[in-house]
Amino acid sequence: MRDLLLVGIFLAVLPIALRHTWIGVLLWTWLSIMNPHRLTFGFAQDAPFAAAAAGVIFLSLFITRDKLRMPWSPPVIVLFLFVFWMCITTAFALDPGDSWHQLNKVLKIQLVTAIALMALHERRHIELFIWVNALSIGFYGFKGGLYTLTTGGGGRVWGPAGSFIADNNHLAVAVIMVIPLLNYLRTVATHKYLRLGLLLLMVFCAFSALG
């Protein structure tokens, strides 16, 4: 059932992502950070959803009528210089095999990041991007925090298998990093129950990190 639900959501969003690059970026971000396919139990568990979303993003660059422009601000320039520096240091790495493998993964992420910089230039784009990032990690923060409270800290909280945050320490860093984003969303939210829900989610994220 989860597999069909995920595939249904993915296929429903794809046509919109083709027309609007920023929607594709949000879809790819959700799939890459939350890894919802790892929560399924059937054929969807190992399906390359993020890779397919990235392919749609590249196609949308030639189809979309949205304005795409690179904001050449100092932080963006520093980011690109840092990526260039990673390429140089990898060339002189002590363990070239593993280093080039890791660089390959990083460059794929940075390529989509560059497209995101071009596509997410309106306030609503940025805030939706924050929502996707915050709730994708916040889901595991809530789940892990609830588990920590119900077990009295007797169990260890792990992230989704096969992801960048699968390790318990990596997940702890992620949920701590997402707390300021949740707090920002709380400050801009207009509904009091939404603000309360985000505050509670921040608390659960803190307990998840402890777990």
* Per-residue pLDDT tens digits for 143-168: 989 988 888 877 788 878 777 888 88
How far is 146 from 160, CA to CA, in rounded Å? 16
115-135 pLDDT per residue, tens: 999 999 889 999 999 999 999
Residue that is written with structure tokens 């990190």 in the block: 209
Please state the domain extents for the chain.
Answer: 2-63, 74-119, 123-210
Judged by average pLDDT, the poorest of 32-36, 84-88, 137-141 is 32-36
What are the tokens at 81?
């210089």
pLDDT at 5: 87
Does pLDDT of 4 surpass 80? yes
185-207 pLDDT per residue, tens: 999 988 889 999 999 999 999 99
> Per-residue pLDDT averaged across 66-85, rounded?
94
pTM of this structure: 0.89
How far is 13 from 159, CA to CA, in rounded Å? 25
In terms of C-beta density within 10 A (0-12 exposed, 13-18 middle, 19 or more buried), how is residue 121 classed?
middle
Q: Quick one: how far is CA 79 from the chain centroid?
A: 18
Contact (Cβ atoms closer than 8 angstroms) between residue 133 and residue 33: yes
